[in-house]
Amino acid sequence: MFIAASILSIALISWEAMIDRFNAVPSNLKTISEFREWDETAGESIDISVGGKRYMVVFGGSPLFPIKEYPAGYLFNEKGMLVAWSPEASDVDKYSLYWNEARRVLIGKAGGMPEEFNSGL
């Protein structure tokens, strides 16, 4: 039983790492227009303001399998330059303020939580 649980744990960790690599931004990608060419299936840009500065957040790389509760998140500054990204735009990473603000804006636009976030809340 212990061996089976260990093998399953290793498989899940490997699967999660594969998903993270799938959502990873290529090192030469710097702008939102380059991002759009790279990921044509990503969602719309969400304009937010954090700490008096304007940013754009794009959610993409929809979660695969139930390992990821949230899609990947990509953060761009007001000039459209990539600032950061997270393989899972959740409320537990150092960019949670940005992801949460973008979700708040989406809720306001849509009148409710977008489908891709329902499982994580």
At 69-78, the pLDDT tens digits run 778 889 999 9
Residue range 57-65: mean pLDDT, rounded? 68
Tally: H helices and E strands in the chain: 3, 4
- Structure tokens belonging to residue 65: 């399998």
Q: What is the pTM of this model?
A: 0.70
Listed in sequence order, the DSSP H helices in the chain are: 2-23, 32-38, 96-110
Model confidence pLDDT, tens digit, residues 27-58: 888 999 999 888 888 888 999 999 999 999 99
3-class state of residue 100 by DSSP: helix
If you average pLDDT over residues 75-89, what whole number do you get?
91
- 70: DSSP letter: S
Question: What is the overall mean pLDDT for the chain?
Answer: 75
Q: What are the beta bridge partners of residue 45?
A: 58
